[in-house]
Amino acid sequence: MKSVDASDYTLGVVGAGAMGQGIAQVSVQGGMTVLIQDAREGGAAKAKEAIAGRLRRLVEKGRMAEAEAEAAIGRLHPIEKIDGLAPADAVVEAVFEDLGVKQELFKAIEAVVSADCLITSNTSSIPIASIARVCEKRDRIAGLHFFNPVPLMKLVEVIRAAETSDAAVTALTALGKRMTRTPVVVKDSPGFLVNMGGRAFSTEGLRIAQDQIATPSQIDAVMRDCWHFRMGPFELMDLTGMDVNYPVSQIVYDGYMQDPRIKTAPIHKAMFDAGRFGRKTGGGWFDYQGAEAVGKPSPDHDPAGAEPGPVSLVGDDGRLSTFCRDVGLAVIPDDGACPLLAAPIGKEATEVALEAGADAKRMVCIDLLGDTGARVTIMTAPGADPNQRDTVAAGLIAGGRKVTAIKDSAGFIGQRMAAMVANLGCYMAEIGLATPADIDLAMRLGLNYPKGPLELAEQMGVANCHGILAAAQASTGEDRYRPTGWLRRRATLGLPIHTEA
């Protein structure tokens, strides 16, 4: 097996669509010779023209030296037939997602390349082992899963199949680095790491909306403003498209034997069936003119002219009184008429009122677990007095915060979603999908999460994260919210979430 650092290292790329072009581009930028092939007549030559154009635009923008760009273009060689891959030291397949097509292609590649040539697939959904089963030398077969657009997305998943050798994994990790990507080694599994790990963010948002606790616009705003995700789950689904994210959700769900923790919601399928795929069709969860959402409902609560007033605190552990002081809410002993303010972790407003023996009609719960600097989420129990809610909302708005008012829920919006993301990350660590550190790294790079899922559990407090999930499971009776053994043990023992066995 040739050293990946060799000056004459040659990579073959089969499939000259967007992904294949991106892989070829970062490879020639990494100093490798690239042979690019496509089944379409002239497809490889057109791909070279497109890549050359992008590299020259980098020169125009001052991001690349002209000599460097021209040298990279000179290392890119279109080929018409598979047998032109014979000199390759490694090959990346980037054709469409069809197992039969990939198996036939791998057999054809194996017939022309050398015995120590690495052969990889960029598949995002097909198990590598199912492709490798038709090959003669399976120890050199692996996945090399890039993310679109490849030149901008730094992550590459190195997928180890059942028979992939350690030497192949080591070489592919080095290859990813030479491509200026950040490689993460992942076990061969449905959705690999990033597509699996991303399920919690979308499916829990869908569940909250399905249960009419909050609107898509409210959920997105809370996850952006209070938890610092670049996009909320509904904006993200509209960007990727329901024609992509719904089938992927089903593939991962079925691949994990229909584990309730990654089950999507009926409204997801309804949107897919209706052909409302998002931006690409002009409408998904929101309507679009081009890339811009139009007529999007406001996530901000309007207290309809209500005036701020004093509140009485229920079950304060110090966080709530400090928040009230910071935001300017006056706190008084309960006078029998003022709003009762609580800051539960994992509990419903209904439950808080019953436990405290308080008037549920006056109870207003506020989420302090996320960032409350720009937006605050409040919730009330069924039958609550809206005037009490609006008095609190008016005070929060006067204190410079936007307010999202939702229906009763164990864990508000942000607590539930953050805990579900964290729990799924813990599950991936539990089954050895990747190391805890690599799980966090992959989710930050692959999905632009502000923190990896295990880092998110640490931020929330491991015991808090466990408590939120246990409360949601008790409230709903659903195993969807069951805490992983990884999370439960570390919460019980008071250990950091990254502690390995």
| Residue-wise pLDDT tens digits, 168-203 | 999 999 999 999 999 999 999 999 999 999 999 999
Q: What percent of the chain has pLDDT over 90?
A: 99
Domain membership of residue 22 (yes or no) is yes
Q: Which of 124, 202, 217, 464 is catalytic?
A: 124
| Residue-wise pLDDT tens digits, 43-88 | 999 999 999 999 999 999 999 999 999 999 999 999 999 999 999 9
pLDDT at 211 over 90: yes
| Residue-wise pLDDT tens digits, 212-224 | 999 999 999 999 9
CA 331 – CA 239 distance, rounded (Å):
44
Domain membership of residue 367 (yes or no) is yes
Give me the sheet containing 375-379, strands edge to edge.
Answer: 312-313, 340-342, 363-366, 375-379, 402-406
Q: Which of 77, 145, 268, 466 is catalytic?
A: 145
Domain membership of residue 475 (yes or no) is no
| Residue-wise pLDDT tens digits, 306-337 | 999 999 999 999 999 999 999 999 999 999 99
- Is 195 labeled as catalytic in the residue annotation? yes
pLDDT of residue 287: 97
- Is 466 labeled as catalytic in the residue annotation? no
As a whole number, mean pLDDT of residues 262-269 equals: 97
Is the sign of the CA dihedral 170, 435, 150, 93 positive or negative?
positive
pLDDT at 1 over 90: no
- Contact 47/54 with Cβ under 8 angstroms? no
| Residue-wise pLDDT tens digits, 360-376 | 999 999 999 999 999 99
Domain membership of residue 437 (yes or no) is no
- Contact 499/491 with Cβ under 8 angstroms? no
Contacts of 501 (CB under 8 A, 6+ apart): none
Supply the range of the domain harboring residue 381.
312-406
CA 375 – CA 473 distance, rounded (Å):
27
Dihedral of CA atoms 271, 276, 277, 279 in degrees, nearest 10, equals -140
Domain membership of residue 31 (yes or no) is yes
Domain membership of residue 17 (yes or no) is yes
| Residue-wise pLDDT tens digits, 383-439 | 999 999 999 999 999 999 999 999 999 999 999 999 999 999 999 999 999 999 999
Q: Which of 121, 122, 189, 195 is catalytic?
A: 195
Task: Spell out the SS3 assignment of 206-275.
Answer: HHHHHCCCCCHHHHHHHHHHCCCCCCCHHHHHHHHCHHHHHHHHHHHHHHCCCCHHHCCCHHHHHHHHCC
Contacts of 446 (CB under 8 A, 6+ apart): 147, 153, 155, 157, 193, 194, 198
Report which residue type is found at 202.
S
Domain C-terminal end among 376, 406, 436 = 406
CA 297 – CA 275 distance, rounded (Å):
21
Do β-strands 340-342 and 141-146 pair in parallel, antiparallel, or remain unpaired? unpaired
pLDDT at 501 over 90: no
Domain C-terminal end among 379, 406, 433 = 406
- Is 145 labeled as catalytic in the residue annotation? yes
- Helices 216-225, 233-240: inter-axial angle, 10-degree rounding: 110
Q: HSE (CB half, 13 Å, CA atoms) of 200? A: 26
* Averaged pLDDT of the chain: 97
Q: What is the CATH number of the domain that holds 90?
A: 3.40.50.720
Q: In 3D, which of 340, 337, 335 has the Cα closest to residue 324?
A: 340
- Is 228 labeled as catalytic in the residue annotation? no
pLDDT of residue 281: 96
Domain membership of residue 357 (yes or no) is yes
- Contact 2/156 with Cβ under 8 angstroms? no
Q: Which of 27, 77, 93, 157 is catalytic?
A: 157
Q: What percent of the chain has pLDDT over 70?
A: 100
pLDDT at 125 over 90: no
Domain membership of residue 443 (yes or no) is no
Q: Give Cα 338 distance to the centre of its chain.
A: 42
Q: Give Cα 452 distance to the centre of its chain.
A: 9
CA 324 – CA 54 distance, rounded (Å):
53
Domain C-terminal end among 406, 422, 444 = 406
Report which residue type is found at 474.
A
How many domains does the chain contain in total?
2
Q: Give Cα 448 distance to the centre of its chain.
A: 7
Statement to judge: residues 31 and 175 lie in one domain:
yes
Contacts of 203 (CB under 8 A, 6+ apart): 249, 262, 263, 264, 265, 268, 420
Statement to judge: residues 19 and 163 lie in one domain:
yes
